[in-house]
Amino acid sequence: MKVACFSTKSYDRESFDLILPKHAHDFTYFEAKLDKHTVSLAKGFDAICTFVNDHLDASVLKKLNTLGVKNIVLRCAGYNQVDLEKADELGFKICRVPAYSPEAVAEHAFAMILTLSRKTHKAYNRIRDNNYSLEGLAGFNLNGKTVGIIGTGAIGHAFIKIALGFGCKVLAYDLIEDKSLKTLGVEYLTLDELLSQSQIISLHCPLTPGTKHLVNASTIEQMPDGVMLINTSRGALIETKSVIKALESRKIGYLGIDVYEQEEDLFFKNLSEEILMDEQIARLMTFPNVLITGHQAFLTKEALAEIAKTTLQNLDAIASGANLVNAIKYSY
Ligand code: NAD
């Protein structure tokens, strides 16, 4: 198949080029993000390959349909960026990579927790300034702390295994309980109970209309004072303005985010010569107890190899008419 690959970075090209010779697909890489201005680049292709911030809204889907491009392979697990109702109506085949490396994201979430709890981000800068003082660097042990996980799917599961290894008490909330986790000692609670009892809260549920702004002024109020909040899932799970207020009042003691509600205009780009106009992220950067990474939790060699492998298998299945095991189910 002729495939137009959008939002391509050097690491995408490298991982795909390594195994493309084993598959009968011809990839054209575009650095451009897919949106209404760039969708015409897909003309003449059989399929498009997209990532988290590419637009698959109704207008882009309609244009793709007009161009006769009916196959979409997502290089990611989440699909909140797709207008599922329109895609279903127009008969698109859409496949994703459901679990390329849950460990990559879970380990990054833990890297954020350890950085914030042991202040290694401050120590790194201090030592480079020839400053070996330990004043202000006192952290806290993870052993014995209560960690609450919202969403116990593939990534939540991997995260829980790490948390148990650190000797944490693990609380969980999900619409569906995972029995295997209960046997490991994980306690499922209501969302309200989890919020009020967890010293560290990590978000691992998808962004849906039901989870948008799950962390807001009233849910923050239920959390213990000084709580640590970690979001490696999707930015809009958090209402940023409420989190900023809670950081100002010290209700939230630590914040680690790999995703950000307005990330689309910022992340995956080098904007170091630009004037930052996003006042919320600018404010977040001023807190000493906030750690921000630019949607890199997935970015390991292992995950990139798995994304390329599964994406090409998805294209193989579409091309041969085989069962699409990774097709998105149209329930919205
Ligand atoms: P998954 O589908 O395996 O698990 C998601 C879990 O969330 C499921 O158990 C589901 O029942 C639960 N859930 C759904 N709605 C819920 C709700 N309202 N309340 C509580 N739980 C709910 O997905 P996953 O592979 O574990 O990925 C989780 C999310 O992580 C993805 O949706 C994606 O947004 C994000 N992600 C981020 C990165 C990154 O690089 N930062 C990479 C991959 C995935």
Interval 210-220: pLDDT, tens: 999 999 999 99
The torsion defined by the Cα of 285, 290, 293 and 299, in degrees rounded to 10, comes to: 170
Same domain, 114 and 29: no
Task: State the Cα torsion 229-234-238-243 to the nearest 10°.
Answer: 50
Quote the tokens at residue 124. Answer: 């790194």
Query: How close is the Cα of 275 to the center of ligand 1, in Å?
Result: 33
**Residue 210 in contact with ligand 1 by CB distance below 6 A:** yes
134 and 266 co-located in one domain: yes
Sign for the pseudo-dihedral over CA of 168, 169, 172, 178: positive
Mean pLDDT of 7-30: 96
Is any ligand 1 atom within 6 A of the Cβ of residue 211? yes
- Of the candidates 32, 195, 183, 202, the one whose C-alpha atom is nearest the C-alpha of residue 111 is 202
Interatomic CA distance for residues 198 and 3, integer angstroms:
46
Tokens of 228: 């640590």
> Over the stretch 62-89, which tens digit does the pLDDT of each residue have?
999 999 999 999 999 889 999 999 999 9
Does the C-beta of 174 come closer than 6 Å to ligand 1?
Answer: yes
* pLDDT tier at 297, thresholds 50, 70, 90: very high
Residue 329 falls inside a structural domain: no
* CA dist., res. 69 & res. 72, Å (int): 8
- Tell me the pLDDT of the chain averaged across its residues: 96
* 176 Cβ below 6 A of ligand 1: yes
pLDDT at site 329: 82
**CA distances to 93, 114, 157, 163, 188 from 184, in Å:** 38, 23, 11, 11, 12
- Residue 81 CA to ligand 1 center (angstroms) comes to 14
pLDDT tens digits for range 93-133: 999 999 899 999 999 999 999 999 999 999 999 999 999 99
- What's the one-letter identity of residue 274? E
Q: Is residue 330 part of a domain?
A: no
- Residues 100 and 298 sit within 8 Å (Cβ to Cβ): yes
Structural domain of 234: 102-292
- Distance from the CA of 152 to the center of ligand 1, in angstroms? 8
CA distances from 109 to 159, 181, 314 (A): 8, 19, 28
Whichever domain contains 217, its CATH number is: 3.40.50.720
Examine the pLDDT at 332 and tell me if it is beyond 80: no
Task: Answer yes or no: is the C-beta of 151 below 6 A from any ligand 1 atom.
Answer: yes
Q: DSSP letter at 41?
A: G
Pocket test for ligand 1, best of 12, 79, 174 (most atoms within 8 A of CB): 174
Q: Which of 105, 195, 207 gets mutated to test ligand 1 (max ligand atoms within 8 A of its CB)? A: 105
Same domain, 120 and 265: yes
pLDDT in tens, 279-292: 999 999 999 999 99
Q: Is residue 325 domain-resident?
A: no
pLDDT above 70 for 267: yes
In the block, which residue shows the tokens 């575009």? Answer: 30
Count up the domains in the chain and report the number: 2
